């Protein structure tokens, strides 16, 4: 046996999910978190203990410690299988759920728009829907549900969830551009979820199209087209002209028939939150895809940490509906709070069972995350790439782990080249005197989400002059942190050139020994204008020799606010150089522009 074979034989196999937090991976391998972070840095991956690694990255770094990783099914995948098992004898065919993915500029959204315009008659808006990530169309009497997952990197997790809750993935590829990194990423998501793939080769109306090149590239990523001897269905389409769209829809229906998509409409509702937000007028709003059962107005539901009673539902077109059946996307109101995207909706018998399930979910998450997680200042400094960054220190305390993870994920998406958020301490539970002491010594602000502060702790914070901010809505928390970050940024100085003048007379000479030289000069405005309080650049023989300010300007011996081109100006000058006849003056002004993150 060779040395490499011995090394492979000694490897310990660990099962991990698709994505894993750095600290959790270190715990699984029973190594120090600092050692794992150091190994990541060696591989030019800068991540703190609470950041998430994808499976491929985790696999590479784990190999260096003698571990072999195997991917376990996500909770979403397990639940999808469980739903199929629980269908029972009342199972009936349901519309297929199709996720549309692809590179950002390959026409995915345009293609969806064309499909909708051709196959949907929009209803009247009921007032909930602002934007929708799921749609339904009808073709030859068959309904198809489409999920639109954004191509931007910030929506990485949503694309992944999209692949896990769907029956078929349509990968859109531009005929004039071919397979791109985002295309490969989308394919990987679909394959990992075991979702069949259909390829729409878009933009075939373009003169520079090269369909054969696209098919060659598809073969290279194990998606060989049918006419190349493979099994991947490829349909040539044009989102611009509508060509091939009918064929695409027919192939989707055919593929769904082969998959035998079923659900039991007579059971309690089960669904998946696609997106959510807080509407200032009507409260928490969630877009839900019903996976099994039927959801009706008046039903009680639990949605992860939250619960509620359905007050109103609308379909994707904004039309009010009384019931939502399997594969139907609806926007709902009536929840007690904004649920996290990715949460599961479960129909409940009554308010008590809904509240109990949500409370149990919260309790379980709290138990998992008991105790605080802390980052040392030294480690933070080591991980911050640019020492030019200004640091905004916070201590974050939340009610449950889910809230903590959601807030951290959003804060990590806030990017700036000049200021960085540093979470010195994070944990689940109420704010304590220990938190106050750390905030005082580090200059940090304490952020609390759905937690409380004892009166004694509050008084101690006031005594130590420590800021505590309490929130019940994540978006308000994030917006206020963005405001704090913006306040740290230096304002941008914007210069506006006003005009050019030539000095034609000296009426009062300045003193060479004075720190600030004051003079009265005469000058002609050769272009633009000069204003009172204008900043001045003094040029001699084409080179800048000094600067100053126009404290006062006169035209025809009268004080003026501005003097325009072609006129003579008397200027009371204060600056750092003595002006001479023949010098050129550039008049300008500077304004501070407040910057926002």
Q: What is the mean pLDDT of each run of 10 residues along the chain (597 residues)?
A: 47 81 87 87 76 81 89 60 64 89 82 78 39 78 81 42 74 91 82 83 92 91 85 92 92 85 88 77 87 94 90 91 94 87 85 88 54 40 44 84 76 76 82 87 88 89 91 86 84 91 90 80 95 94 93 92 94 93 95 79
Please say which residue of 46, 71, 96 terminates a domain: 71
Is there a single domain that holds both residue 98 and residue 235?
A: yes
Is there a single domain that holds both residue 413 and residue 428?
A: yes
Is there a single domain that holds both residue 203 and residue 104?
A: yes
Is there a single domain that holds both residue 238 and residue 158?
A: yes
Q: What is the pLDDT of residue 41?
A: 82
369 by DSSP, 3-state: which?
coil
Q: What is the pLDDT of residue 401?
A: 65
Is there a single domain that holds both residue 286 and residue 318?
A: yes
Is there a single domain that holds both residue 108 and residue 229?
A: yes
Is there a single domain that holds both residue 255 and residue 120?
A: yes
Count of the separate structural domains present in the chain: 5
Asked if the structure places residue 365 within a domain, the reply is: no
Is there a single domain that holds both residue 426 and residue 329?
A: no
Please say which residue of 308, 338, 360 terminates a domain: 360
Q: At 49, which CATH number?
A: 1.10.10
Asked if the structure places residue 40 within a domain, the reply is: yes
pTM of the predicted model as reported, rounded to 2 decimal places: 0.52
Q: What is the pLDDT of residue 55?
A: 83
Asked if the structure places residue 108 within a domain, the reply is: yes
Is there a single domain that holds both residue 281 and residue 315?
A: yes
Q: At 194, which CATH number?
A: 3.40.50.300
| Residue with the two structure tokens 């072999």 | 68
362, 399, 400, 439, 517 from 370: Cα distances, Å: 12, 11, 9, 21, 68
- List the domain range (segments joined by +) for residue 279: 270-360
Query: CB neighbours of 469 closer than 8 A, spacing ≥ 6?
Result: 445, 446, 447, 448, 477, 480
Asked if the structure places residue 79 within a domain, the reply is: no
Query: CB neighbours of 65 closer than 8 A, spacing ≥ 6?
Result: 29, 31, 36, 39
288 by DSSP, 3-state: which?
strand
């Amino acid at each position: 046996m060779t040395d490499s074979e011995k090394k492979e034989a000694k490897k310990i196999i660990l099962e991990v999910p698709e994505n894993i937090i750095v600290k959790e991976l270190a715990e699984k391998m029973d190594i120090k978190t600092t050692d794992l972070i150091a190994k990541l840095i060696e591989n030019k991956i800068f991540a703190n203990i609470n950041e998430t690694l994808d499976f491929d990255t985790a696999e590479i770094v784990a190999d260096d410690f003698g571990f072999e990783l195997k991917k376990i099914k996500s909770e979403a995948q397990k639940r999808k299988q469980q739903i199929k098992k629980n269908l029972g004898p009342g199972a009936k065919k349901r519309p297929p759920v199709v996720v549309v993915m692809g590179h950002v500029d390959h026409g995915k959204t345009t293609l969806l728009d064309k499909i909708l315009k051709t196959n949907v008659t929009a209803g009247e808006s009921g007032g909930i829907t602002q934007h929708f990530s799921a749609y339904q169309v009808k073709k030859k009497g068959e309904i198809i549900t489409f999920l639109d997952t954004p191509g931007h990197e910030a929506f990485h997790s949503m694309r992944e969830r999209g692949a896990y809750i769907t029956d078929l993935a349509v990968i859109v590829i531009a005929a004039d551009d071919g397979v791109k990194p985002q295309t490969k990423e989308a394919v990987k998501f679909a394959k990992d979820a075991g979702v069949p793939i259909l390829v729409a080769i878009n933009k075939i109306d373009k003169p520079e199209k090269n369909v054969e090149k696209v098919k060659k590239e598809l073969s290279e990523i194990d998606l060989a087209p049918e006419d190349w001897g493979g099994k991947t269905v490829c349909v040539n389409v044009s989102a611009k002209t509508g060509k091939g769209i009918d064929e695409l829809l027919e192939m989707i229906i055919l593929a769904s028939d082969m998959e035998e998509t079923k659900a039991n409409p007579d059971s309690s509702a089960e669904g998946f939150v696609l997106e959510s937000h807080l509407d200032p007028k009507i409260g928490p709003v969630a877009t839900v895809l019903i996976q099994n059962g039927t959801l009706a107005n008046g039903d009680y539901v639990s949605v992860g940490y939250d619960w509620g009673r359905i007050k109103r539902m609308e379909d994707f077109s904004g039309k009010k509906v009384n019931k939502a059946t399997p594969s139907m996307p609806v926007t709902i109101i009536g929840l007690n709070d904004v649920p996290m995207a990715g949460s599961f909706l479960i129909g409940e018998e009554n308010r008590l069972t809904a509240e109990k399930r949500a409370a149990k979910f919260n309790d379980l998450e709290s138990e998992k995350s008991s105790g605080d997680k802390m980052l040392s200042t030294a480690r933070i400094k080591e991980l911050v790439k640019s020492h030019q960054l200004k640091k905004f220190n916070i201590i974050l305390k939340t009610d449950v782990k889910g809230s903590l993870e959601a807030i951290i994920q959003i804060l990590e998406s806030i990017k700036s080249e000049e200021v960085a958020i540093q979470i010195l301490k994070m944990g689940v539970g109420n704010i304590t005197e220990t938190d106050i002491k750390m905030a005082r010594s580090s200059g940090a602000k304490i952020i609390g989400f759905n937690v409380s502060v004892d009166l004694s702790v509050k008084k101690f914070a006031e005594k130590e002059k420590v800021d505590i901010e309490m929130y019940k809505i994540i978006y308000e928390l994030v917006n206020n942190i963005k405001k704090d970050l913006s306040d740290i940024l230096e304002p941008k100085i914007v210069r506006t050139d006003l005009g050019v003048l030539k000095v034609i007379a000296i009426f009062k000479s300045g003193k060479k020994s004075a720190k600030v030289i004051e003079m009265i000069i005469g000058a002609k405005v050769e272009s633009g204008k000069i204003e009172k309080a204008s900043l001045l650049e003094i040029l001699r023989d084409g080179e800048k020799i000094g600067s100053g300010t126009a404290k006062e300007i006169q035209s025809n011996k009268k004080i003026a606010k501005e003097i325009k081109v072609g006129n003579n100006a008397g200027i009371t000058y204060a600056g750092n150089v003595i002006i001479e006849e023949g010098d050129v003056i550039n008049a300008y002004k500077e304004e501070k522009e407040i910057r926002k993150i």
